[in-house]
Amino acid sequence: MTAEFGGRGAALVHDLTLPQLGGRTADQALADGVDPREIWLALCTETDVPLARRHGVGLLEPRRR
């Protein structure tokens, strides 16, 4: 979160509702047991993070098994 959003990360996790997660915030989704990866991708979609950065700043997409 910090690498992508800097100081805004905490506010996004607490305040931004995510349509992909039923209108919950990331905090609410975590409390409900949603997989953190699913939450991260929903955050990326909602905030228009480029595909190249969704797997970590400077990291390549993991290989599929």
Residues 6+ apart with CB under 8 A from 19: 46
Structural domain boundaries in the chain: 2-49
C-alpha–C-alpha distance, residues 19 and 25, integer Å: 9
Q: Look up the pTM and report it.
A: 0.79
- Average pLDDT rounded to a whole number, residues 60-64: 63
User: pLDDT of 18-42, one tens digit each?
Assistant: 999 999 999 999 999 999 999 999 9
Rounded (5°) CA angle 57-36-33: 170
The answer to whether the beta carbons of residues 35 and 45 sit under 8 Å apart is no
Q: Which residue has the tokens 């975590």?
A: 30
* C-alpha of 63 from chain center: 20
